[in-house]
Amino acid sequence: MDQYVIKGGIPLQGEVTVSGAKNSALGILAATVLTDEQVCIKNLPDISDIDILLNAIEEIGASVTRKDRNTVLICGANIKQTTIESENVRKIRGSYYLVGSLLGRFKSAGVLMPGGCNIGSRPIDQHLKGFRALGADAEITHGMVKADAKELVGAHIYFDCTSVGATINLMLASCLAKGQTILENSAKEPHVVDVANFLNSMGANIKGAGTDIIRITGVEKLHKSTYSIIPDQIEAGTFMLAAAATKGDVVVKNVIPKHLEAITAKLVEIGASVVEMDDAVRVTATDRLKSTSVRTYPYPGFPTDLQAPMTTLLSVSSETSTLTESIFDGRFKYVDELAKMSAKIKVENNVAVITGVDRLTGSKVVASDLRAGAALVIAGLMAEGFTTVEQIEYVERGYENLEGKLRKLGAEIIKTDSKDEKTVKKFKLKVG
Ligand code: EPZ
């Protein structure tokens, strides 16, 4: 198992370039099996979730050629099976997008139940409801999500709750169906729009992505395309919060400022400075930040994926802040780890009450999921002394070369095997 070792108290300074969006890439890679022609996907983030999904796509018979770590050619001409049973797909959430795309093209799909971060109950009833509305028999059986149909006919689907996954999955399943599908109460996240734009670049007819009503008119066939994934809104937000948390001065490059408005607004509200440029934001903070109240919401609200990093930032604000998690029911596990670092946070139901302390103190802590891990890294950057973050394979699921990007910003951080005490000792002596 790998770990990060961090010497805290150093303000982050300089420029960092954000990678492609993980939560776009997973939907877009799954969408490539909707055509038998070759597609080229650029600006892929080099993270383990992508490797797992590409392996699954290759396993069913598609050809997958990694031109480099951020560019892949995929051709689904020779796909010979529509069932994926490799244990690997259990590790990621995005594997369930292969149900939508294989059902959409082959009218048949079977994928092991998706995994992903342990952040509370994550049912897929809205996905199944949508597949059934299109005419498929869809069920969870023997640990697999299975969907089969004689034909898929467009339908009017009203989601009971706003779901990124269900919205993307139903765009995938309906773009080759007969007639028009209307998705109501759809998710509006930037990555939903990115998947729709990619599908349209292959010849799909999708209108309204980014609003809560999406209209998909089925087409006969999808064709080749070359497409570049949008920058990762959540990675960008993570670096913005880390800059403010360390009283630094960081230019976060390769971003779409509009996607970051909820984070920018909160940072300015608590006393940080955010300067927006065409494709970058500059975040600086000098004095102790103020307290505030935050509630997570579907886009364009404050993203649930930045809830943990934001709570960490507020843990040293003046007075008391609250953070309400309105999307997942188990996304505060990291708070016990922050308590080891002298944070004073009380969680009742889905509300964290954060009493600002003067400083965090370094400790050994354990990542429980992707964004919790990122929050603990930020805590380590802020804390007095050394922090070790264990189980960082969670973090590497969603952040490309995090320690390298942080070192470029002046952070004293190394990645080592958790048994490699010699390297840790050398690091601590060196940066003392
Ligand atoms: C996606 O998960 C992201 N993952 C998550 O990011 C993100 O936190 C989440 O959207 C919300 O933005 C990927 O894109 C791979 P949802 P997803 O369906 O699609 C309920 C990260 O850190 N729901 O929008 O699983 C669900 O329980 C990850 O990058 C149903 O009840 O999220 C939740 O309470 C973590 N039934 C809410 O809706 C369903 O059929 C939102 O879930 C589907 C969802």
In this structure, the residue with its CA closest to atom 31 of ligand 1 is 123
CA 428 to chain centre: 32
Helix (H) / strand (E) containing 207: strand 205-207
152 falls within a domain: yes
pLDDT of residue 428: 94
Point out the ligand 1 atom lying closest to the alpha carbon of residue 329.
Answer: 34
Q: Smallest Cα–Cα separation from 105: which of 155, 175, 203?
A: 175
Test site for ligand 1: of 19, 22, 23, most ligand atoms within 8 A of the Cβ: 23
Residues 6 and 103 reside in one and the same domain: no
21 pLDDT band (50/70/90 cuts)?
Answer: very high
Q: Smallest Cα–Cα separation from 159: which of 185, 182, 134, 139?
A: 185
In this structure, the residue with its CA closest to atom 18 of ligand 1 is 163
Say which residue, 117 or 184, is predicted with more confidence: 184
Catalytic annotation, pick one of 75, 117, 161, 175:
117
Residue 150: burial class (beta carbons within 10 Å; 0-12, 13-18, 19+):
exposed
Point out the ligand 1 atom lying closest to the alpha carbon of residue 168.
Answer: 19
Structural domains in the chain (count)? 2
Go through 220-255 and write b for each residue having 16 or more CB atoms within 10 A of its CB, e for each that does not. Answer: eebeebebebbbbbbbbbbbbbbbbbbbbbbbbbbb
Residues 335 and 304 reside in one and the same domain: yes
pLDDT of residue 116: 74
DSSP state of 423: H
- Final residue belonging to a domain, choices 180, 213, 228: 228
- β-strand pairing of 38-42 with 71-75: antiparallel
Give residue 121 CA to ligand 1 midpoint distance, Å: 10
Test site for ligand 1: of 24, 48, 93, 399, most ligand atoms within 8 A of the Cβ: 93
Give residue 110 CA to ligand 1 midpoint distance, Å: 20
Residues 152 and 299 reside in one and the same domain: no
- Final residue belonging to a domain, choices 228, 247, 265: 228
pLDDT of residue 115: 76
330 pLDDT band (50/70/90 cuts)?
Answer: confident
| Least confident span in 17-21, 113-117, 160-164, 364-368 | 113-117
Residues 8 and 58 reside in one and the same domain: no
In sequence order, the 6+-apart residues with CB closer than 8 A to the CB of 348 are: none
Tokens of 126: 């809205």
184 pLDDT band (50/70/90 cuts)?
Answer: very high
Residues 7 and 72 reside in one and the same domain: no
Point out the ligand 1 atom lying closest to the alpha carbon of residue 114.
Answer: 25
Distance CA 290, CA 396 (A): 31
Is residue 117 flagged as an active site residue?
A: yes
Residues 377 and 403 reside in one and the same domain: yes
> For residues 171 and 208, is the Cβ–Cβ distance under 8 A?
no
| Site residues for ligand 1, CB cut-off 6 Å | 22-23, 26, 93-94, 117, 119, 121-127, 161, 163-166, 187, 304-305, 327-328, 370-371, 398
pLDDT of residue 148: 98
Residue 92: burial class (beta carbons within 10 Å; 0-12, 13-18, 19+):
buried
Q: Taking residues 83-91, what's their average pLDDT?
A: 84
Residues 74 and 6 reside in one and the same domain: no
Q: Is the pLDDT of residue 117 over 80?
A: no
In this structure, the residue with its CA closest to atom 41 of ligand 1 is 163
90 pLDDT band (50/70/90 cuts)?
Answer: confident
Give residue 332 CA to ligand 1 midpoint distance, Å: 16
Point out the ligand 1 atom lying closest to the alpha carbon of residue 187.
Answer: 24
pLDDT digits (tens, 9 = 90+) for 365-388: 999 999 999 999 999 999 999 999
Q: What is the mean pLDDT of the chain?
A: 96
pLDDT of residue 93: 85
Q: Taking residues 186-201, what's their average pLDDT?
A: 98
CA distances from 291 to 283, 323, 341, 379 (A): 18, 11, 19, 17
Q: Taking residues 261-265, what's their average pLDDT?
A: 98
Residues 27 and 165 reside in one and the same domain: yes
Q: Smallest Cα–Cα separation from 27: which of 13, 41, 46, 7?
A: 41
Predicted structure pTM score: 0.97
pLDDT of residue 87: 80
Amino acid (one-letter) located at 308: A
In this structure, the residue with its CA closest to atom 42 of ligand 1 is 163
357 falls within a domain: yes
391 falls within a domain: yes
Distance CA 106, CA 101 (A): 8
Tell me, what CATH number does 179's domain have? 3.65.10.10
Residues 14 and 84 reside in one and the same domain: no
pLDDT of residue 119: 81
Say which residue, 121 or 123, is predicted with more confidence: 123
DSSP state of 88: G
Which residue bears the tokens 């802040």? 321
Residues 329 and 341 reside in one and the same domain: yes
Q: Is the pLDDT of residue 121 over 90?
A: no
Give residue 80 CA to ligand 1 midpoint distance, Å: 30
Give residue 163 CA to ligand 1 midpoint distance, Å: 6
408 pLDDT band (50/70/90 cuts)?
Answer: very high
Residues 222 and 295 reside in one and the same domain: no
Give residue 164 CA to ligand 1 midpoint distance, Å: 6
Beta bridge partners of 295: 324
Residues 9 and 49 reside in one and the same domain: no
In this structure, the residue with its CA closest to atom 38 of ligand 1 is 163
pLDDT digits (tens, 9 = 90+) for 218-259: 999 999 999 999 999 999 999 999 999 999 999 999 999 999
368 falls within a domain: yes
In sequence order, the 6+-apart residues with CB closer than 8 A to the CB of 380 are: 4, 6, 8, 362, 365, 387, 389, 413
- Final residue belonging to a domain, choices 228, 255, 276: 228
In this structure, the residue with its CA closest to atom 8 of ligand 1 is 305
Point out the ligand 1 atom lying closest to the alpha carbon of residue 327.
Answer: 34
Distance CA 153, CA 163 (A): 22
Give residue 196 CA to ligand 1 midpoint distance, Å: 18
Q: Domain residues for 107?
A: 22-228
Q: Taking residues 402-407, what's their average pLDDT?
A: 98
Q: Taking residues 355-362, what's their average pLDDT?
A: 97
Tokens of 374: 């990122």
> For residues 10 and 386, is the Cβ–Cβ distance under 8 A?
no
> For residues 35 and 202, is the Cβ–Cβ distance under 8 A?
yes
pLDDT digits (tens, 9 = 90+) for 410-430: 999 999 998 999 999 999 999
